[in-house]
A and B are shown apart, each in its own frame.
Chain A
Amino acid sequence: MSHHIVEARDLEFTYPDRTPALQKVSFKIHHGESVAVVGANGAGKSTLLLHLNGYLTPSAGQVRIGDYPLTRETLREVRRTVGMVFHDPDDQLFMSTVFDDVAFGPLNLNLPAEEVAARVDKALATVGLSDLRERPPHRLSSGQKRRVAIASVLSMSPDILVMDEPTSGLDPRARRQLIELLAGFKHSKIIATHDLDMVVDICERTIVMHDGRIRADGPTPEIFADAELLESCRLEKPLRMQGCPVCGSAPDHRPPTIG
């Protein structure tokens, strides 16, 4: 595959209890792009993410990953291509040691043992946790868990990273480290989040969802400059784009520095 695109075409989804969650959702994401999916609670962000690796099947429309449409036959290949990092690391880290957890994906891909070990080492080194490999996941801090969850996905060499609220529940320092880590990745990234300041840091493009529809899709600075749009979608400007409430100084409109 030369160009990894995620494409949603007129995606619709209704939960079994007849709650419509997605309506006519269409977008294309190009290779190497970093896209934020923002929206109020219940806007349909998580439901959308669950379509991207085929956990939910759309009621209508189609998802295409790379050159494949997402169907039962391509599911395996798609799940290797799309690395999904879940909201709660406790759901994602189900094995009894960090090593086993990070090795879980590569082993399922039927890779030989040496290759699995090499991939685990590399993934753990990338997130900076090589020395925790034999530790049980429940003994880690939230920030460490989150990074192990990312390593467990990286070890499968995905082309696309899909993340649900990667910075929630982290202390400021751990959040900053995570943002730096993510900014260093060359993968295409799709990040659903409420942390709009992180979006300013790592996503050049933002999709705004509201009531199961895409309300806006464009360059991040433009989206966050549109006060009316944000207001109508129950969102607020990133803190650094608001004036300082203490000293009253003007907001910071400089382009984000990454890394």
Chain B
Amino acid sequence: MTDRISRAFYDIGRLEIIAGRDSFVHRLDPRAKLLVTVFFIIAVVSFDRYAVAGLVPFFLYPAAIIGLAGLPVGYLFRKLLIVSPFVICIGIFNPFLDLEIMVNLGPLAVSGGWVSFTSLILRFSLTIGAALILIATTGFPKVCMALEKLGAPRILAVQLLLLYRYLFVLIEESIRMIRAHALRSCSRRRPAFRVYTQLLGNLLLRTLDRAERIHLAMLSRAFTSEIRTVRRFTFGRAELLFTLTAAAAFLLFRTIPVAELLGGLILEISL
């Protein structure tokens, strides 16, 4: 179990290392990337439940960013797979409940349920993929700072920042505790429930102690009640261009059925 936790832990670390690379996309102001991601998600989510063809052009965005930023596709895809069970659980009953035939692919009749299930999976891949790409090109702390600069409540941004910072400390602490337990309980593979509650309680107490020490550290550096950061972002021409191009493309994909037009075009040419 410790092994699995540590592996998940180093995996977060990998995302962070990817975010620390240098590329055109990495260098963009986090606010521009955050805005584009939000536009993208809104555009994708706003399709009706049976939309499939309309969603396809949207894959151009992640593809373009992955290409420009040189992100590892396999790694991002594995991250998507980890979250996918949740979506599959939500959508899996569609094919059984919605049996009306919607599309006939030659001899194969496809029910509305299957179409909406496919649409759900596409939308899931696009939105979660876009969020992952945002983090992989920006880094979680900068996304939080961008959120704050764009008007999200400061307390929320600060909470997220501290949460992220101490996530690592907390995971390390839990790994140490579980390891200590594992080394002295040869026969059992995982802690008994009673032991488990004690481990958790202990972790909570340690966390409270640490919170107190952090507060002390803040106080000794003249902390009043507001966490301030220096603004180091510049929203320049590149950002403006990036945001406008992306927004225009999403609007285009959303309003004009690009896939159908392309399909029609190809058909016309081949005929």
Contact = CB atoms under 8 A, between A and B. Distances in A.
17 contacts: A53-B219, A55-B219, A91-B210, A91-B214, A94-B218, A95-B161, A95-B165, A96-B140, A97-B141, A100-B229, A108-B223, A108-B228, A113-B230, A134-B20, A136-B165, A138-B169, A139-B13
Contact of A79 (B144, B210, B222): B222
A183 interface: no
B169 A108 contact: no
Contacts of A136: 16, 141, 165
A104 B221 contact: yes
B221 A96 contact: no
B168 interface: yes
Contacts of A230: none
Nearest to A80: B222
A104 B228 CA distance: 7
Given A91-B214, A94-B165, A53 B230 contact: no
Interface in B125-149: 140-141, 144
Given A91-B210, A105-B222, A108-B223, A96 B217 contact: no
Interface residues of B, number: 31
Contact of A156 (B141, B218, B221): B221
A152 interface: yes
B213 interface: yes
A84 B220 contact: yes
A72 to B, nearest CB: 13
Interface string A136-180: 111100000000000011001000000000000000000000000
Nearest to A102: B221
| Interface class of chain A by DSSP | helix
B222 A96 contact: no
A152 B230 contact: no
B103 interface: no
A107 B218 contact: no
Interface string B170-182: 0000000000000
Contacts of B141: 96-97, 136
B164 interface: yes
A139 B227 CA distance: 22
A103 interface: yes
B222 to A, nearest CB: 4
B162 interface: yes
Chain A, interface size category, equals 35 or more
B165 A79 contact: no
Interface of B: 13, 16, 20, 140-141, 144, 161-162, 164-166, 168-169, 210, 213-214, 216-224, 227-232
Nearest to A88: B213
A109 interface: yes
A130 B168 CA distance: 24
A107 B217 contact: no
B214 to A, nearest CB: 5
Contacts of A62: none
B220 A107 contact: no
Interface string A64-90: 000000000000100110111010101
Which of the listed residues A99, A104, A152 has the most CB atoms from chain B within 10 Å of its own CB? A104
Given A90-B169, A91-B210, A96-B164, A79 B220 contact: yes
Nearest first, the 5 A-B pairs at minimum CB distance are A96-B141, A105-B221, A108-B222, A91-B213, A107-B228
Given A86-B217, A90-B169, A95-B161, A76 B230 contact: no
Contact of B219 (A79, A109, A116, A137): A79
B210 to A, nearest CB: 6
A160 B228 CA distance: 25
Contacts of A80: 222
A216 interface: no
Contacts of B214: 91, 94
A25 interface: no
B221 A108 contact: yes
Of the candidates A109, A113, A136, the one having the most CB atoms from chain B within 10 angstroms of its own CB is: A136
A117 interface: yes
A137 B166 CA distance: 10
Contacts of A113: 230-231
Interface string A217-241: 0000000000000000000000000
B221 A153 contact: yes
B41 to A, nearest CB: 24
Contacts of A117: 230
Given A107-B230, A113-B231, 10 more contacts: A53-B219, A55-B216, A91-B214, A91-B216, A92-B217, A94-B165, A96-B164, A109-B222, A138-B165, A138-B168
A71 to B, nearest CB: 15
Given A86-B213, A103-B229, A96 B219 contact: no
Contacts of A156: 221-222
B148 to A, nearest CB: 12
